[in-house]
Amino acid sequence: MLLKGALTSISLAIAAVTTVIAVPVRLSLEARQKSDSNGTNGLTDLVTWDTHTLKVNGERLFLFSGEFHYYRLPSPGLWTDIMQKFKALDYNGVSFYFFWGYHSPKRGVYDFTGIRDIQKAFDAAADSGIHVITRAGPYINSELDCGGFPSWLQNMQSPARKYNPENKEASHEWLTEIDKYMTANQITKGGPVILNQIENEFSYNTDAEYMEMLKAKFRDDGMVVPTIFNDVGPNGNFATGPGAPDIYGWDNYPAGFDCSNPLAWPNDRSTDWRDFHERTNGEQPMAVYEFQGGAFDPWGGPGYPECYKMVNEQYAKVYYKNNYAQGIRIQNLYMTYGGTSWGGLPKPSVYTSYDYGAAITEPGLMTTKAYENKLQAAFLHTVKPFLTTKYFKPESDRSDIILIDGLADVNTPTKFYVAQHWSTKSEELDEFHIKIETTNGNFEIPRSSKLILNGRDAKILTTDYDFNSQHLVYSTSEIFTHQDAGSHDVIIVYAYEKEEGEFAIKVKDDTKVKVETNDDSVKSETNDGILQLTYTHPNGTSPIYISGGAEKDLLVLVAGYQSALRWWAPYLNEKEGKRALINGPYLVRSAAVSKDDKSTVAFTGDIDETTDIQVVLPDGIKAITWNGEKVQLEEKDKHGIYTGTLEFKKPDIKYTDLTKATWKYKAGSPETDPKFDDSKWITADHLSTNSTTPHDAGPILYADDYGFHTGCLWFRGTFNGSSEITGFDLTAHSGAASAWVAYLNGEYLGGFDVGNHAFTDLNDTLINREGENVISLLLWTTGHEDDFKADDDYKQARGFTKAELLGVTNQTTWPIVWKVQGNFGGEDLADPVRGPYNEGGLYGERNGWHLPGFPDNDWEDAKIPESKERTGVSWYRTTFDVNIPDGYDAPMSLRYVDDTKSRYRTLLYVNGWNLGRYANDLGPQTQYYLPKGILNTQGENTLAIGVVAIDEAAQLGQVILEPYDVLQSAIPSVELVDSPGYDKRQQ
């Protein structure tokens, strides 16, 4: 119920004139758990809370949210696809980080069009019935360049993430822009936004005044939904006092980020959250605003399949269920879809793919973990007493090895038992019993079968639970969901195959109960008003039909785990909790009773092979369609279970074989030639910098100081020769996996990791002692650092901290004149459509060689794999066709195949979009996702690859185009992203 009492209107009235500081009334735990009063920020009643959960529109809910970043999927049409997948997995929330730098190439310039049109992200969530958590930073971390700050902030003198006039002005500039979208999409305006985060994990070098400044700005701009804050762990930063949000919470990544030892699980579950919450913010629901849903992987790392292995479905069972046992009722899984840090998006340590080993893979495919999350989310959204529980300590016979947390609903007799091994990574398979007290008597369960806890497993058992027309006494199988099907009720329960299970319901009359099943393992017994079924979880799903027990009959569907994973419960009517139940498909996106024919349910979804389905339909529904086509159904039995087959029709998918294609080649590093004209380049003559990187004497050679922020950089130094000069001493400063290559008068001197190199063996043939000399330095950068600790680390330089001639004495003026070049136009982008992170400063990039329609007819013909070794920078161009028929989803990729011996890097441009940085010598990424929308999947595409040799020469290996998978799919239509060609380039 909404609290529309006098108190609220008074606080609303106050809110109009002044800041409302919510002073929580400290009730006892008991009183709080029973109380039905709502916490509110006094700005809206549409989102309120109490000690248990959020309430949206007055309705209590478990917020099961996943993190999604629109900028990591540069094709707005696919945002809808991902949001549909969230909904299919029973998520009811998504968290969006908004990326300041992605929208602002230059101070005062903002872009929310094309791939930056975030209104489409809000719409995608809203259309799928997903609530949105907005997280606008200004700082967001997220393994992004500058942690999300725009590159131009590099040149701010004052510290970021602090209260000071300069930072206030910069932050306000961004918030003014982003708040327009966030406010307009709040629930109060009919939009999906229900919560708004202040800052991000601001737990080091904290500044409450800055937090208050951000809070005030959000409020002044019209954000009325409750504010949240994600502490780095339950540490109490901003839990109360200045800077505190409405609902405090924290982040947690217990598996860490080293995927090279995926089964290590270095941290056991947290068992102290309940107490911490009670001590700290017990008036608010317990929230984990980022809980580990995967892990990022560094250059040279083991790769995302290993991260998936580390944070797999077993991890989801053990750690997420522990969250629920602790009391978490707001959970955001970071990431649920990771996507791609294309172009210059990533911070230095991570590579292009941000797959994250997440539930939904980079190309949008399902994983077992996605299905596991669905099992959990559907339970949390179905079994309402779980939302209002208090902790109790149950009795069990194996408390030495198995931890059992008891959760008792404060409103009904329903109790839950969350069982997990004390050691999260225990591989033991253990039998145990629990003592339960129910309104139907006290028992030790299981009564006549074995209850097993597998290694790396956790179970939530439910007792004393009224559902539909039934009363569950207890179940040792876990519940997925249940439904009132009209004439009877249906419940789906599951456990691993071969595990025994027990399911007991209350019956009115022992003598009238009838149990029917084809499963021989099922035994039933009725005593003292309780019908007890025992069974073995099958391979597949066994129906057990109970009549004469309650007011309505009950269909119990007992599923083995693999089969359970493929049960879907799409809503027919979410408000009423009405769902259709369907087993088998790879993905079920939606279900709806047909408007013209009320006896038909229309399902949409995806299959990867011919799929047998089982469908449980409410009374009156006799037919189904799948993606618009009628499905031949057979009514297997009288219990409303229909079976049918969805036939996978092999599509005629075509795409060019790139190993047979004709390519064009052109050399791309004329800057190494001493005669190259750099007169239009910027002279690097600053003598001071706002960077945090210390520098030697001489002019500042930090590219950001001259407005160049992304990708490759060139520095050209001119000096007069003399007999004194014995060499150079150069120190490059850039992030992990960066590299630099030095040339003198056109000759290769060497390629290096960042750091110092002194060139002391220059002979007289290299150096012109009589006249002018040119050093050309190419720096392959990998983005800027983030600012995790709020110490301005994002301002580390990209460039050279030292650039000296050796042997020169009595220097009166600085002997080298330096020029610097980065992306064409610097902060005044040559390509505003693709934005600030697309292109860097290679000659080919500056001149649009990567763009569709660039006239390459006078380039040399080439084949890939290359037949020749090439020095410096090389460019290859070709076109290729793709044809994926409508009704199919075949996410495409480009894969490099080469041995790792030679040190070279590449940039991959598809239709002018920089879809990946590749490091042949580092790995691990070799396969790059080409998202539909950027990729024309029914026509021609332009491919350009820029190769930077770090060794003296490089030979590009094989390049292969291929799909990750082929699905017969209801993927929503995806419009082609605007990809301006060379003719539109502003030069």
Residue ranges that bind ligand IPT, judged by CB under 6 A: 140-143, 200-201, 232, 251, 253, 290, 296
Angle at alpha carbon of residue 359, lines to 147 and 247, rounded to 5°: 55
Closest separation in Å from C-beta 231 to ligand IPT: 10
Q: Which helix (H) or strand (E) holds 326?
A: helix 321-326
CB-nearer residue toward ligand IPT: 75 or 141: 141
How far is Cα 118 from Cα 128, in angstroms, rounded to an integer? 16
> Quick one: 137 or 963, whose CB is closer to ligand IPT?
137
Nearer to ligand IPT, 182 or 311 (CB): 311
Beta carbon of residue 98, minimum distance to ligand IPT (angstroms, whole number): 12
Nearer to ligand IPT, 269 or 664 (CB): 269
Which of 232, 380 has the CB closer to ligand IPT?
A: 232
Of 245 and 840, CB closest to ligand IPT: 245
Among the listed residues 507, 490, 598, the one whose alpha carbon sits nearest the alpha carbon of residue 549: 507
Q: What minimum distance in Å lies between the beta carbon of 11 and ligand IPT? A: 32
Grouping H, G, I as helix, E, B as strand and the rest as coil, residue 148 is helix
- The string of DSSP codes covering 48-92 is EE-SS-EEETTEEE-EEEEEE-GGGS--HHHHHHHHHHHHHTT--
DSSP 816-852: -EEEEE-STTTTS-S-TTT-TTT--S-HHHHTTTTST
Contact, 920 vs 896, CB < 8 A?
A: yes
- Beta pairing partners, 403: 420
| Shortest Å, Cβ 687 to ligand IPT | 36
Catalytic residue numbers?
201, 290
Nearest CA among 419, 412, 358 for reference residue 390: 412
Q: Which is nearer to ligand IPT, 142 or 462 (CB)?
A: 142
Strands 458-467 and 415-421: antiparallel
874 close to 946: Cβ distance less than 8 angstroms: yes
Token readout for 432 is 């145990």
Q: How far apart are alpha carbons 658 and 195 in whole angstroms? A: 47
Using CB atoms within 10 Å of the CB of residue 575, give its burial: 0 to 12 exposed, 13 to 18 middle, 19+ buried: exposed
For ligand IPT, the closer CB: 311 or 805: 311
The residue (of 254 and 946) whose beta carbon lies closer to ligand IPT is 254
Q: Which is closer to ligand IPT, CB of 296 or CB of 567? A: 296
DSSP 8-state secondary structure symbol assigned to residue 648: -
Distance CA 250, CA 328 (A): 11
Q: What's the rounded Cα separation, in Å, for the pair 296 and 874?
A: 31
Q: Minimal distance in Å, beta carbon 932 to ligand IPT? A: 26
Answer whether 15's CB lies under 8 Å from 24's CB: no
Separation between Cα atoms, residue 901 and residue 241, nearest integer Å? 57
- CA 146/CA 139 separation, integer angstroms: 9
Please name which of 907, 889, 788 lies closest in space to residue 841, comparing C-alpha atoms.
Answer: 907
Beta strands in 760-886 (DSSP E): 772-780, 799-806, 817-821, 860-862, 870-883
Yes or no: say if 662 and 878 are a contact pair by the CB < 8 Å rule. yes
SS3 assignment, position 546: strand
CA distance 438 to 461: 13
